[in-house]
A and B are shown apart, each in its own frame.
Chain A
Amino acid sequence: MSSSIKREQFNIGHLCTRQQCEAGRGSKVAMRWLSAAMEQTDLTFTDLEQQSNRVANLLVEVGAKAGDIVFTFLPKMPEQFFILLGILKIQAVAGPLFANFGEEGLLDRLGDSQAKILFTRRSFLKKIERIRDRLPALRTIILIDSEADLADDLLSYRCLAERASTEYQVEPTAAETPSLLHYTSGSTGKPKGVLHVHRSALTQRMTAEKILQLGSNDVFWCTADQGWVTGTSYGIIGPWSLGVTQIHFGGGYDATSWFSILESQAVTVWYTAPTALRMLMREDPATLQRTDLSNLKHIFSVGEPLNPEVIQWSRRVLGKEIYDTWFQTETGAIMISNRPGVVVKPGSMGIPVVGVEPAILREDGSAADEMEQGALCLKAGWPSMFVTYLNHDDSYQQKFKDGFYYTGDTAYRDKDGYYWFMGRSDDVINTAGHLVSPFEVESAALEIEEVAESGAIGVPDELLFEKVVLFVALHKTYTASLDLELKIRLYIAHRVSSVATPQQIFFIDSIPKNKSGKIMRRILKARYLGLDAGDTSTLEA
């Protein structure tokens, strides 16, 4: 294993590339890229170093400098990794965007961050063009798949990269230098930009080694998209700062392809999501059991609570243990987890990572007793802790009280020190590991001509953990129909993101609100689940 920080150089781009080459791993495969058609391309740490250096140099050529915010809006592809590492090398802030964001989702993120440069591809350009006039700070768009520059501000990546040097000397980067920006949804307001700094690599590397138990001979596959924190913390930083070979796959979920990859690529450690595992549970066990998984040592999961049935299924069908891990965009790295060598209590989050101090606190801030549910908090100061919500430091400050970060999750701790997730203390919907703001869904629905009122909730779902359910009240001149339902679904998918698409839509006469006009999602949820709505004294008459 490589040593960690040398000469106070915290730069993540450097740690993942140059430092690995200096440690003698230049010719080692850093990334085995598998296209959707399963074409294989191997990229060594030297390749990663040179390609990311090209990006650093081309960014300098287009006028980027330290502190600038540079986004990618790309599907999973090798260039995305070069670009993210190149951005970090020049000490700009890298913001990877999920490829399925709609134009409102893009506007919220690119607009709030005042992003100056965006890497995307031609087929995605139409979404950007629709909002471009509302992004005055966005001065340059670099197109991955354009053979030539299309305009002064629409440049060809290939042309820029061809003339860029493969040599770049990364400036010494202090631990507190801003690095990555991932937006996360809350129950109110627009998504907020979670800003991390280069010091996060310490915890990402440590947890990749100690929790995911990655060693120099491992072949690691993290299925997360780079648009989400898992995709950067453990699809880039953790494993590559350890010099570990990673598999990255350009296709989507497909049981046959996935199991073929696990077998043919001799994956030793696999990090995936409960929704994917639950989808695999629907496959014929005999088909899965025909796959040779003898190289696979460990399976880890992240994103949503892992239900005990999945763990039991894996033990029975795959003959493997699945270790659930817990962290958030804000924490930057795994904070609480199950892991090899520690008894798994199916359904629990596991135990804290070394150096992380969780606490279960009551509403008055006092410590809850064992088995008592309360707010899951973390003692502030872990190395991968975010440093602010960009442009919303007031919201950041509100997340901390008496030295503790309030995660927004509720949980309890058992007598053995294991933590058990109980739910959210807000209305944020966790669907297939993606956090969706009910506010964003409701706002998009209200833009539809026929919709007078809307209320979005998350309800339990066997596959997705939670699914988005939308209640809609129409203007009096309109009536509900299947066509209108489809229109609403597509509108929200295009405006916000495919992950925000309501899985069910109910047309009702009016949305319950309190006397100050706040949507009573609690009542909608009770109505959906057939439960008692509880206190309705504040309900609007």
Chain B
Amino acid sequence: MISLEQLDPIFQQVFDDDALHVTPSTTADDVDGWDSLSHVNLILALETAFKVHFSQKELLSFKNVGDLYHSINAKLEARP
């Protein structure tokens, strides 16, 4: 399990904003610079940090940071 706070440094790195803190309800509209291209960078950063992989279908289903966070934890818990 990871905590939500563990996502902050990754979001800060991807969006170049040291003051950025995310909540489960944070969406792309709440973060400066979160467009479709930087979204690819975010996913790559999350995959690299937590050694997980998201399918295309999963990526399309994420509506906010909470969805992303729960998906990461589900993948980590499913590990043998």
In the assembled complex, the Cα of A482 lies from the Cα of B45 at a distance in Å of 9
Give the number of A-B contacts (CB < 8 Å). Answer: 54
In the assembled complex, the Cα of A471 lies from the Cα of B40 at a distance in Å of 19
- A253 contacts the other chain (CB 8 A): yes
- A248 contacts the other chain (CB 8 A): no
Selected from B14, B27, B33, B48, the residue in CB contact (under 8 A) with A100 is B33
Contacts of A36 in B (CB 8 A): 27, 29
- A144 contacts the other chain (CB 8 A): no
A-B contact pairs, 23 of them (CB 8 A): A37-B29, A75-B32, A100-B35, A123-B32, A124-B32, A126-B16, A126-B17, A251-B29, A252-B29, A252-B36, A432-B37, A486-B44, A486-B45, A486-B48, A489-B41, A489-B44, A490-B45, A493-B37, A493-B41, A494-B16, A498-B37, A498-B38, A501-B37
Task: Kindly supply a per-residue 1/0 record for chain B positions 14-39, scoring 1 wherever the CB is within 8 Å of any chain A CB and 0 otherwise.
Answer: 10110000000001110011111110
B21 CB, min distance to chain A CBs, angstroms? 13
Contacts of A501 in B (CB 8 A): 37-38, 40-41
In the assembled complex, the Cα of A499 lies from the Cα of B34 at a distance in Å of 11
Contacts of B34 in A (CB 8 A): 252
Contacts of B33 in A (CB 8 A): 99-100, 498
A40 CB, min distance to chain B CBs, angstroms? 16
Selected from B36, B41, B48, the residue in CB contact (under 8 A) with A483 is B48
B71 CB, min distance to chain A CBs, angstroms? 19
Residue ID in chain B nearest A75 by CB atoms? B32
The count of residues in chain B whose C-beta lies closer than 8 Å to any C-beta of chain A is 19
Contacts of A514 in B (CB 8 A): none
Would A503 and B40 be within 8 Å (CB), given that A482-B48, A494-B16 are in contact? yes
- B13 contacts the other chain (CB 8 A): yes
Contacts of A127 in B (CB 8 A): 16
In the assembled complex, the Cα of A75 lies from the Cα of B17 at a distance in Å of 16
With A37-B29, A100-B38, A489-B44 already in contact, 8 other A-B pairs whose C-beta atoms are closer than 8 Å:
A100-B35, A124-B32, A252-B28, A252-B34, A432-B37, A486-B41, A489-B41, A498-B35
In the assembled complex, the Cα of A486 lies from the Cα of B44 at a distance in Å of 7
Contact A99 B48 (CB under 8 A): no
Contacts of A483 in B (CB 8 A): 48
Which A478-494 residues have C-beta < 8 A from chain B? 482-483, 485-486, 489-490, 493-494
In the assembled complex, the Cα of A250 lies from the Cα of B28 at a distance in Å of 12
In the assembled complex, the Cα of A454 lies from the Cα of B34 at a distance in Å of 26
Contact B41 A253 (CB under 8 A): no
Residue ID in chain B nearest A130 by CB atoms? B16
A494 CB, min distance to chain B CBs, angstroms? 5
Contacts of A75 in B (CB 8 A): 32
In the assembled complex, the Cα of A102 lies from the Cα of B35 at a distance in Å of 14
Contacts of B29 in A (CB 8 A): 36-37, 250-252
In the assembled complex, the Cα of A251 lies from the Cα of B34 at a distance in Å of 11
Contacts of B14 in A (CB 8 A): 490
Contacts of A253 in B (CB 8 A): 36
Q: Which residues of A contact B (CB under 8 A)?
A: 36-37, 75, 99-100, 102, 123-124, 126-127, 250-253, 432, 482-483, 485-486, 489-490, 493-494, 498-499, 501, 503
Contacts of B44 in A (CB 8 A): 485-486, 489
A445 CB, min distance to chain B CBs, angstroms? 15
A440 CB, min distance to chain B CBs, angstroms? 15
Contacts of A126 in B (CB 8 A): 16-17
In the assembled complex, the Cα of A251 lies from the Cα of B45 at a distance in Å of 24
A79 CB, min distance to chain B CBs, angstroms? 16
Contacts of B37 in A (CB 8 A): 432, 493, 498-499, 501
In the assembled complex, the Cα of A482 lies from the Cα of B40 at a distance in Å of 14
Which B38-58 residues have C-beta < 8 A from chain A? 38, 40-41, 44-45, 48
A412 CB, min distance to chain B CBs, angstroms? 32
Would A493 and B38 be within 8 Å (CB), given that A486-B44, A486-B45 are in contact? yes
Contacts of A494 in B (CB 8 A): 16
Contacts of A490 in B (CB 8 A): 13-14, 16, 41, 45
B49 CB, min distance to chain A CBs, angstroms? 9
Contacts of A489 in B (CB 8 A): 41, 44
A238 CB, min distance to chain B CBs, angstroms? 25
In the assembled complex, the Cα of A126 lies from the Cα of B18 at a distance in Å of 10
Contacts of A503 in B (CB 8 A): 40
A244 CB, min distance to chain B CBs, angstroms? 27
In the assembled complex, the Cα of A489 lies from the Cα of B48 at a distance in Å of 13
In the assembled complex, the Cα of A253 lies from the Cα of B37 at a distance in Å of 11
In the assembled complex, the Cα of A127 lies from the Cα of B33 at a distance in Å of 12
Contacts of A482 in B (CB 8 A): 48
In the assembled complex, the Cα of A483 lies from the Cα of B13 at a distance in Å of 13
Contacts of B48 in A (CB 8 A): 482-483, 486
Residue ID in chain A nearest B18 by CB atoms? A126
In the assembled complex, the Cα of A501 lies from the Cα of B16 at a distance in Å of 14
In the assembled complex, the Cα of A251 lies from the Cα of B37 at a distance in Å of 15
In the assembled complex, the Cα of A250 lies from the Cα of B14 at a distance in Å of 22
In the assembled complex, the Cα of A252 lies from the Cα of B35 at a distance in Å of 7
Q: Chain B CB within 10 Å — which of A37, A127, A485, A493 has the most?
A: A493
A27 CB, min distance to chain B CBs, angstroms? 31
